[in-house]
Amino acid sequence: MDYRIISIGALARHELWTKAAPAPIHEHATTTLVRSGDRVILVDPSLPPAMLLPRLCERAGLGPADITDVFLTSFHPAHRMGLKAFPNANWWISERERETVGQTLVERFTREAEDAELQNMLRDDIALLKKIKNAPDKLAPKVDLFPLYGYSPGTCGLLLTFPRQTVLIAGDAVATSEHLENGRMLRGAVDVTGAQESFQEAVEIADILVPGHDNVILNPMRKQRGSNAFTLD
């Protein structure tokens, strides 16, 4: 098994930066490639296809036909802009995210009957969500779902188990290195208490974290406990 970052994400507005960015930032999530056995899994294909596919080639020498599975840590638009570039892959999301988001979309579609433009957008999202399947608890050998509810109702990461280290692809449960350092959750969580609990679980289990909108981080809390898990095989 191996993993690598295909594209490092960014927040439209980084709430923990003391100085605003000099130019507008297009929000997108960190996209990660995981290979385990015969499975080639792309997590959170965030960039538009025209940008994502060249990066997939540059970073891993792969094309869209090589991807067997796509996993979304949440249904947030910033995590799925490139999803349709992989029509032949299995599309996965946590069952809790799929069911809660689906119910919300249907209720909103019914409520907004007089707004044709919004209804068209909601109709597209509902149709897309129907094509995404409930992910099994084990997505591939040594690749397990790790529920991180809170930021969204069904936010879910992937736990990669190596012989001497654990890697957690955390999605929005751990947004950036600054959020990790300050023990802060990403603003806008639907369940603040749940987000706090998920953040704590992520910090307790992972030697290495892949945040939702940043580069890979060695978990400083694990390092302080004297873990030698950072020796890469």
93 Cβ contact list (under 8 Å, min separation 6): 71, 72, 74, 75, 132, 133, 134, 135, 154, 156
Q: How many residues are present in the chain?
A: 233
- Provide Rg for the chain, Cα atoms: 17
Domain extents for the chain? 2-224
Model pTM score = 0.90
Give residue 102's pLDDT: 95
Amino acid at 119: Q
Q: What span, in angstroms and rounded, lies between the C-alpha atoms of 95 and 76?
A: 15
Tens-of-pLDDT digits for all 233 residues of the chain? 999 999 999 987 766 556 665 545 678 999 999 999 999 999 999 999 999 999 999 999 999 999 999 999 999 999 999 999 999 999 999 999 999 999 999 998 988 878 888 989 999 999 999 999 999 999 999 999 999 999 999 999 999 999 999 999 999 999 999 999 988 888 889 999 999 999 999 999 999 999 999 999 999 877 544 444 433 33
**What would be the CATH architecture of the domain defined by 2-224?**
4-Layer Sandwich (3.60)
